[in-house]
């Protein structure tokens, strides 16, 4: 383990919260039974909130930001892991309550780690990241609720973002006809390359909410919330399901019970942070089976660790397409 750890550290004083690229001593890492040399992290919407201080994501200071990482085990007191193992971590309070992945090294609990499927490199893992892993959890939830390709189309909101891009790629590979909702219509060629059959303007879903609307899709993956989610529910077909995993538009849900009691629609909540480890392992195994690596590569841009400071405000403004892989050593 190195004598110092290069990281993005979030600090707070009486007047302000700030983030900076700096170094800390290894003795400042948290307690844990597995030490990982981090190769890559990534940029998620929640990371943007944490780094900019736009929302109270960080609950302990000073704290290393970053809710994801992938790397190689260097030391382990956990019998499930040995030096040289390639692992991935998502959630569990990383970058919120515990030191996260925007660092060259991490010390964590073994329960938080998953062995990375051999099909993926550490760079692939962070091209997927929490966003892609969340997308897979959402797809699995729709499957559990009986949404199949023969039932009808599936809608993906925020489709040019991280969750949306991976959900779109996976759903299309599984044989679904996918409708992509986006506010960036200039990204049509990108979305169609991922497998979208139809593109709609997100403005269609951001209008005043009707209790029920024309049935348009059998299921949906929504990362937006608020009026968009309410309108998505209102247009979901009888017996359909919607997996909700984000709040880019807002935390409110100004809708009606009509879709639930008149059409039997199910609203499934997707929590990626504290999802049980067996379900996480299943999600990563499914990603290894059902995610086209060529399509994954098309979603990716690359950044150095220090670039996160300037990219964080951009992701909050919807200016980041797809996935950003962060090389923590660069």
| pLDDT single digits (tens) 278-321 | 999 999 999 999 999 999 999 999 999 999 999 999 999 989 98
Of 329, 312, 258, the residue nearest 49 (C-alpha) = 312
pLDDT of residue 318: 87
CB 265 within 8 A of CB 244: no
Band (pLDDT 50/70/90 cuts) for residue 95 is: very high
End-to-end, the C-alpha distance of the chain in Å comes to 18
Superfamily of domain 129-269: NAD(P)-binding Rossmann-like Domain (3.40.50.720)
* Mean pLDDT computed over 73-97: 97
Query: Could you state, in order of their start, the residue ranges of all structural domains in the chain?
Result: 4-116+299-327, 129-269
d(CA 122, CA 129): 10
Percent of the chain with pLDDT over 70: 99
Q: What is the DSSP letter of 158?
A: S
Pairing of strands 154-156, 178-182: parallel
Band (pLDDT 50/70/90 cuts) for residue 13 is: confident
CB 165 within 8 A of CB 137: no
Band (pLDDT 50/70/90 cuts) for residue 1 is: very low
CATH classification for the domain delimited by 4-116+299-327, as one of 3.90.180.10, 3.20.20.80, 3.80.10.10, 2.40.10.340: 3.90.180.10
* Mean pLDDT computed over 169-175: 97
pLDDT of residue 15: 79
Q: Model confidence over 15-69: pLDDT tens digits? A: 789 999 999 998 899 999 999 999 999 999 999 999 999 989 999 999 999 999 9
d(CA 14, CA 118): 47
Mean pLDDT of all residues belonging to the chain = 95
Sheet hosting strand 63-64, strand order edge to edge? 17-25, 4-12, 63-64
d(CA 186, CA 321): 11
Q: Model confidence over 264-279: pLDDT tens digits? A: 999 999 999 999 999 9
Q: Model confidence over 189-207: pLDDT tens digits? A: 999 999 999 999 999 999 8
């Amino acid at each position: 383990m190195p004598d110092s750890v290069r990281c993005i550290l979030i600090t707070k004083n009486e007047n302000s919260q700030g983030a900076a690229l700096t170094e800390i001593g290894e003795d400042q890492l948290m307690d844990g039974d597995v030490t990982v040399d981090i190769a890559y992290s990534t940029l998620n919407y929640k990371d943007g909130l944490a780094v900019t201080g736009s929302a109270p994501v960080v609950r302990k200071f000073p704290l290393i930001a970053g809710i994801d990482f992938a790397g190689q085990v260097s030391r382990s007191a956990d019998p499930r892991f040995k030096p040289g193992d390639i692992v991935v971590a998502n959630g569990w309070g990383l970058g919120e309550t515990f030191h996260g992945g925007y660092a060259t090294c991490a010390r964590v609990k073994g329960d938080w780690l998953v062995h990375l499927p051999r099909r993926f490199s550490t760079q692939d893992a962070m091209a997927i990241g929490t966003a892609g892993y969340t997308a897979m959890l959402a797809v699995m939830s729709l499957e559990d609720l009986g949404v199949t390709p023969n039932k009808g189309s599936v809608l993906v909101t925020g489709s040019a973002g991280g969750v949306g891009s991976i959900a779109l790629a996976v759903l299309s590979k599984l044989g679904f006809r996918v409708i992509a909702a986006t506010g960036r219509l200039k990204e049509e060629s990108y979305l169609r390359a991922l497998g979208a059959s139809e593109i709609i303007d997100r403005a269609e879903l951001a209008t005043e909410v009707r209790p029920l609307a024309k049935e348009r899709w059998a299921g949906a993956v929504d990362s937006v919330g608020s009026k968009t989610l309410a309108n998505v529910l209102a247009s979901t077909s009888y017996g359909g399901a919607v997996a909700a995993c984000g709040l880019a538009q807002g935390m409110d849900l100004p809708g009606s019970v009509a879709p639930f009691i008149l059409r039997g629609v199910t609203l499934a909540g997707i929590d990626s942070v504290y999802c049980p480890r067996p379900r996480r392992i299943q999600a990563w195994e499914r990603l290894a089976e059902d995610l086209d690596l060529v399509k994954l590569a098309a979603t990716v841009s690359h950044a150095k660790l220090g670039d996160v400071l300037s990219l964080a405000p951009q992701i909050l403004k919807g200016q980041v397409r797809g996935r950003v892989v962060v090389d923590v050593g660069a």
